[in-house]
Amino acid sequence: MDRWLFETPWWLLSLVAVAAVALLVSGNSRQNSRIKAGGLGVLLLAAALWATSYFIETPRETATRQTREWVAAVVAKDSSTIDRFLHPKATLERWNRQDIVAGAVKYADQYGLESATVLSLQSEPNPVEVETVLSVLSRHDSKRAIISTINSSWKLIWVRTGDDKAWVIQTIEPLKIGQSERGQFRDDLFGRSPR
């Protein structure tokens, strides 16, 4: 129900608006004030749904927006932004929070990360977390990387922190990097600390 209220799809808003206009036109042509009032009420409902959807950001929308911001921070090698989005006990395979920050910057530099385009992003909220699965196409400097474009898939688990209720990444799971599935990654990729 929350998704219909706070993330109202455009087609539903359009349907409600068309119904409102039809009632207003019908009431006006018949000079029936009750039908016109009903049309105005439905139009106000459409406006309220739009305003609620536009001004209130749901956890799913927050996780989706912040995932894109986090990917941009990795490309920019912005360690403070990368760190800001991480839970104090964040993990990526055997890495902890400090390893994730150091590794993101180190690997971006080592492999000449130039850009990353989010190809797909799906977020599913649960009662206490939001699970985001994304596919990213990264472009690398051909002098520093064997392959200039790499497609990878990741799962991010977003949770609320206790103090300020901000959404942060608790778990990062690499699902696929290039042609390698999880479990086929080199032992040194996320095993040893990059610091």
* 173, part of any domain: yes
Do residues 152 and 79 share a domain?
yes
Confidence of residue 54 (pLDDT cuts 50, 70, 90): confident
Range of the domain at 39: 2-55
* 15, part of any domain: yes
The mean pLDDT of 126-132, rounded to a whole number, is 89
Angle between helices 97-110 and 59-76 in degrees, nearest 10: 50
User: Is pLDDT above 80 for 145?
Assistant: no
Q: The CATH number of the domain where 153 resides is what?
A: 3.10.450.50
pLDDT (tens digit, 9 = 90+) per residue, 163-185?
667 899 999 999 998 887 777 77
Do residues 63 and 40 share a domain?
no
User: Is pLDDT above 60 for 1?
Assistant: no
State how many domains the chain has. 2
CB 16 within 8 Å of CB 45: yes
DSSP classification of residue 22: H
CB 17 within 8 Å of CB 50: no
193: left (phi over 0), alpha (psi -120 to 50) or beta: beta
User: What pLDDT does 143 receive?
Assistant: 84
User: Is pLDDT above 80 for 192?
Assistant: no
* 195, part of any domain: no
Do residues 73 and 146 share a domain?
yes
pTM of the model: 0.76
90 or 142, which is more confident? 90
167 or 48, which is more confident? 167
Do residues 139 and 101 share a domain?
yes
Do residues 107 and 166 share a domain?
yes
| 129 closest CA partner among 100, 90, 167, 93 | 167
Lowest-pLDDT range of 20-34, 69-83, 110-124: 20-34
CB 79 within 8 Å of CB 101: yes
190 or 177, which is more confident? 177
